A and B are shown apart, each in its own frame.
Chain A
Amino acid sequence: MRVMVLVKASKNSEAGKLPEEKDFVAMGNFNEELVKAGVLLAADGLHPSSRGKRVRFSGGKKTVIDGPFTETKELVAGFWIWQVKSLEEAVEWVRRCPDPMPGEESEIEIRPIFEAEDFGKEFTPELRARMERRRAEVRAQESARNKKS
């Protein structure tokens, strides 16, 4: 199964404060361990929400809201995608993770990624195909952009 592992934001991460070198090294070592174990599929860190935007949907109306957003602890500062055998395995890996926000209280959240089998009957093959087509288009555009940059 795949899981998305979300590193929640903190006051410091939202302030754009970068971790100290030793913390960087510790996280680097952890990532290396994940790669060596064949678990890590993808990972990235996110800029503070002050550089983000939201689009709110309400009764057919769409409103663009500029960051920063206030609910710091609910925001995401970074993520991994892991391939693991079970949710418990993911928990065990997170237990091995160095403190992501040293000096502050923080949380790491593990969320299983939907697999095709998880969808019920209402999720028809056509619907599924359409959703994945859209997903593929987005990724193709992303990779085209990456190539350009």
Chain B
Amino acid sequence: MTEAATHQAIEAVWRIESARLIGGLVRVVRDVGLAEDLAQEALLTALEHWPRTGIPDNPGAWLMATARNRAVDQLRRHRMLERKQGELEETAGSLGPQPPPEVETLIDENVGDDVLRLVLVACHPVLSTEARVALTLRLLGGLSTEEIARAFLVPEPTIAQRIVRAKRTLAEAQVPFEVPRGEDLAARLPSVLEVVYLIFNEGYSATRGDDWMRTELCDDALRLGRILAELVPGEAEVHGLVALMELQASRARARIGPAGEPILLLDQDRSRWDQLLVHRGLAALERAESLARPLGPYVLQAAIAACHARARTNEETDWPRIVALYDALAELTRSPVVELNRAVAVGMAYGPSEGLELVDALVDEQALRGYHLLPSVRGDLLMKLGRFDEARVELERAASMAQNARERELLEARAAACRLSAADVKLRS
């Protein structure tokens, strides 16, 4: 194996092992920053040794043993220091107040718990959403700071700083490292699911930049979701989120045109939907629905996505069922964005004027101010009602508000189509 090839292989090992490695270390040293440092040092040692010795048969165990030795060294040094400096300065080291004595035996148990603990810490509510996203991709996705920065179109130092600050916040807040059970665990999950879905969405409909989709981020989020589903298999919402992401990802190929332009759901060529992901999504939804009633927000959204996935043509879409699901979702979330989506469904199920009535009620909604999809939806309904001049104004407004270049182009094109239709109507009359 050439040195370059070995390095690529080590990178792959890192991706597979890093979460378990860091998770196992966090349990023992009770400090995310230190755990990651120890893991990184083990990786450096591997980069030094493996090109010469070849990759060991069990690289995960090798990395863990190396990091563990480091941890033990540090603990010993820390304790010697402690003895010298007295108990007053107990917290001076970064090892926390009570390092457990049996480091070796503790490290190899409960791998699942280790990864779950790491997820919960990385997504801890004391952290800002941005910090949670960066930390989760770094610690659980195995992404480098550079990769995260590229994915979010942010300068690398920004992400690096975000991660450093997040680790400091976690240390200062002394977040507990026990894995909660039962209802306590369920209470912590929304903050985790939010992070995963946010990563997915940033990939699925990029808010910034020139590309309408960044598939790699979708893949990362899906992988995190699938991992979570196995960590907490009894939680319906986790399966709901996985189902939602699988179903949305199944449409990825169909929602981009040859020139990179977005294609909206009802204009998509359904034969291009990825049936493997559709099947996986429907299976995850079934799993979620078998676990809990009433259904939570992710399961409901997945159920809506499933209505589209099951329809082989637009006409087969069960819009009344979608409306009913949005009713439940709106009641649960009280979100104006959900109300807006519900209006779209109502428009499809019972006609554009019914939909428009609901949208008009949302126009003064504070939370939707600046949200380009409000005028976009309104323009669309007006267009269907043949009120082309009003529709054009709304679509132009939507275009001026959209932040994604591709989306803006699409809205401008639809506004232009309205202008043509309006002229056509005038000519005929």
Can you list, as one digit per residue, whether each of B2-27 has a CB less than 8 Å from chain A (1) or not (0)? 00000011011101100000000000
A35-B230, A36-B230, A140-B275 as given contacts; A91 in contact with B9, CB under 8 Å = yes
Closest residue of A by beta carbon distance from B228: A38
Complex contact B276–A129 (CB within 8 A): no
Most chain B CB neighbours (cut-off 10 Å) among A36, A38, A139: A38
A129-B271, A129-B272 as given contacts; A38 in contact with B224, CB under 8 Å = yes
| Sample of 23 A–B contacts (CB below 8 Å) | A36-B231, A37-B16, A37-B223, A37-B227, A38-B230, A39-B223, A41-B280, A83-B219, A85-B12, A88-B8, A88-B12, A89-B15, A91-B9, A91-B12, A92-B9, A92-B16, A93-B16, A125-B257, A132-B271, A137-B271, A139-B276, A140-B312, A143-B275
The reply on B287 being an interface residue by CB < 8 A is no
Complex contact A81–B275 (CB within 8 A): no
A129-B269, A129-B272, A132-B272 as given contacts; A143 in contact with B12, CB under 8 Å = no
Complex contact B276–A41 (CB within 8 A): yes
Give the residue of B8, B225, B258, B271 whose beta carbon is less than 8 angstroms from that of A125: B258
Closest residue of A by beta carbon distance from B60: A96
- Chain B hits for A106, CB < 8 A: none
- Chain A hits for B223, CB < 8 A: 37-39, 83
The reply on A29 being an interface residue by CB < 8 A is no
The reply on A50 being an interface residue by CB < 8 A is no
Closest residue of B by beta carbon distance from A32: B230
Contact surface of B with A, Cβ cutoff 8 Å:
8-9, 11-13, 15-16, 55, 57, 59, 112, 219, 222-227, 230-231, 253, 257-258, 269-273, 275-276, 279-280, 312
A137 and B279 alpha carbons, distance in the complex (Å)? 14
B84 shortest CB reach to chain A, Å: 44
- Chain B hits for A128, CB < 8 A: 272
Give the residue of B8, B57, B227, B269 whose beta carbon is less than 8 angstroms from that of A38: B227
Interface residues of A in 23-53 (CB under 8 A from B): 35-39, 41-42
- Chain A hits for B16, CB < 8 A: 37, 89, 92-93
- Chain B hits for A143, CB < 8 A: 275, 279
The reply on A133 being an interface residue by CB < 8 A is yes
- Chain B hits for A15, CB < 8 A: none
- Chain B hits for A35, CB < 8 A: 226, 230
A27 shortest CB reach to chain B, Å: 18
A108 and B45 alpha carbons, distance in the complex (Å)? 30
Contact surface of A with B, Cβ cutoff 8 Å:
35-39, 41-42, 81, 83, 85-86, 88-89, 91-93, 95, 116, 125, 128-129, 132-133, 135-137, 139-140, 143
B215 shortest CB reach to chain A, Å: 9
Complex contact A36–B112 (CB within 8 A): yes
A89 and B142 alpha carbons, distance in the complex (Å)? 12
Complex contact B226–A116 (CB within 8 A): no
A38-B226, A88-B9 as given contacts; A132 in contact with B253, CB under 8 Å = yes
Complex contact B12–A133 (CB within 8 A): no
A64 shortest CB reach to chain B, Å: 28
A81 and B280 alpha carbons, distance in the complex (Å)? 13
A95 and B270 alpha carbons, distance in the complex (Å)? 38
- Chain A hits for B224, CB < 8 A: 38
- Chain B hits for A132, CB < 8 A: 253, 269, 271-272
B208 shortest CB reach to chain A, Å: 22
- Chain A hits for B11, CB < 8 A: 86, 88
- Chain B hits for A135, CB < 8 A: 271, 275
What are the nearest 5 A-B pairs in CB distance? A38-B226, A133-B271, A38-B223, A88-B12, A139-B275
Closest residue of A by beta carbon distance from B112: A36
Closest residue of A by beta carbon distance from B279: A143
Complex contact A116–B253 (CB within 8 A): yes
- Chain B hits for A133, CB < 8 A: 269, 271-272
Complex contact B276–A42 (CB within 8 A): yes
Give 20 A-B pairs besides A85-B15, A86-B8 with Cβ atoms closer than 8 angstroms: A35-B226, A36-B227, A37-B16, A37-B227, A38-B222, A38-B225, A38-B226, A38-B227, A85-B219, A88-B12, A89-B15, A91-B12, A92-B16, A93-B16, A95-B55, A128-B272, A132-B269, A132-B272, A133-B271, A137-B271
A87 shortest CB reach to chain B, Å: 9
Complex contact B222–A83 (CB within 8 A): yes
A42 and B278 alpha carbons, distance in the complex (Å)? 13
A128 shortest CB reach to chain B, Å: 8
Give the residue of A37, A92, A139, A140 whose beta carbon is less than 8 angstroms from that of B13: A92
